[in-house]
Amino acid sequence: MTTYLLDSNIFIQAKNLHYGLDFCPAFWQWLDEAHAAGAVCSIDSVRTELIAGNDDLSAWAQQRPGTFFVSPSAATVPSLQVTSVWASNSGYEPAAVSTFLQVADYYLVAQALELQCTVVTHEVVSNGTRRIKIPNACLGMNVRYVTPFAMLRAEKARFVLPSPSLPQAA
């Protein structure tokens, strides 16, 4: 079974675009059910970013049990070190490396490496050297990554309205 680690942009874009908390609660319920089944989670650094938004998504993140957002542990340290070395030696500008090592993306890739998870992000590979994108780091660390739509299809997520009741014959 694949376990997916979700980037903060998955939650933010879901809320702002395709799966608003107000009109598509099925997506958010699916996340909780997929988490309970061991298929979906995220990391504590992403939770911190979401809570900083101080909106409905922030409230949603605050209500999730501690296991939805995984904290790094002592076992994460080797993966953090390897990811840091990769970032520092991959031709990125020093400012890009410094920024990467300070944001959730770094922890997301390192924790996916440690936990052998697939990263879910809207980001795409870039040839630029001014910012380290999650897919580039995943490729460098041999960590699988997918779009949220690929994850939803692979997991056979279904957001279906109930069938309307037919009128009863008199």
Reduced to 3 states (helix: H, G, I; strand: E, B; else coil), residue 123 is coil
Residue 21, both tokens: 């908390």
pLDDT, tens only, 50-99:
999 989 999 999 999 789 999 999 999 999 999 999 999 999 999 999 99
- Say what the pLDDT of residue 1 is: 78
Kindly report whether the global pTM for this prediction surpasses the value 0.85.
yes
- In the chain, the N- to C-terminal Cα span, in Å, equals 50
Residue 128, both tokens: 């630029």
Residues in CB range of 88: below 8 A, 6 or more apart: 97
Residue of 38, 35, 40, 46 lying closest to 106 (CA atoms): 46
pLDDT, tens only, 131-166:
999 999 999 999 999 999 999 999 999 998 887 776
User: Domain spans of the chain?
Assistant: 4-154
CATH superfamily of 4-154: 5'-nuclease (3.40.50.1010)
